[in-house]
Amino acid sequence: MRILLSAQGDNKESLVDQRFGRAAYYVIYDDQTNEYSSVENQGKLENSGAGVKASQFVLEQGVDCVITGSLGPKSFMIIQDAGLKGYKNFEGTVEEIIEAFKNNKLVELTNAGAEQKLRGRR
């Protein structure tokens, strides 16, 4: 299983990011190899459409699920329509959130969150 997490940094010790479309990085964990990879979010400073761009990126990565703070309405629809599940993270590192996921301690995102227009600002 390949799991994508929104993160503030580019490795397993990085804190997770509650934002999806405007997260600084995406860290992907592969439970078959126990390896982490990361990529900087190229859409984080977009004036609009950051969530849609992020959702399209997620689909291109061939991941099985997404762990983030919230998915806006458009992102939620894209992720859901692709058959992927989203899970809500909490404060902690990427590695801690993966452990929580493995232990079934994360809640599935069943509703879209509010759309945010922060243009890259926190």
Overall domain count for the chain: 1
Residue 60 lies in a domain: yes
CATH assignment at residue 58: 3.30.420.130
- The answer to whether residue 122 sits within a structural domain is no
Q: Alpha carbon 16 to chain centroid distance? A: 9
Q: Does residue 53 lie in a domain region?
A: yes
pLDDT tens column, 55-101: 998 899 999 999 999 999 999 999 999 999 999 999 999 999 999 99
Distance CA 18, CA 15 (A): 10
In this structure, is residue 14 part of a structural domain?
yes
54 located within any domain = yes
**Exposure pattern of 3-32 as b/e (b: 16+ CB <10 Å)?**
bbbbbbbbebebbbbbbbbbbbbbbbbeee
pTM of the model: 0.88
Query: Which residues constitute the domain of residue 99?
Result: 2-108
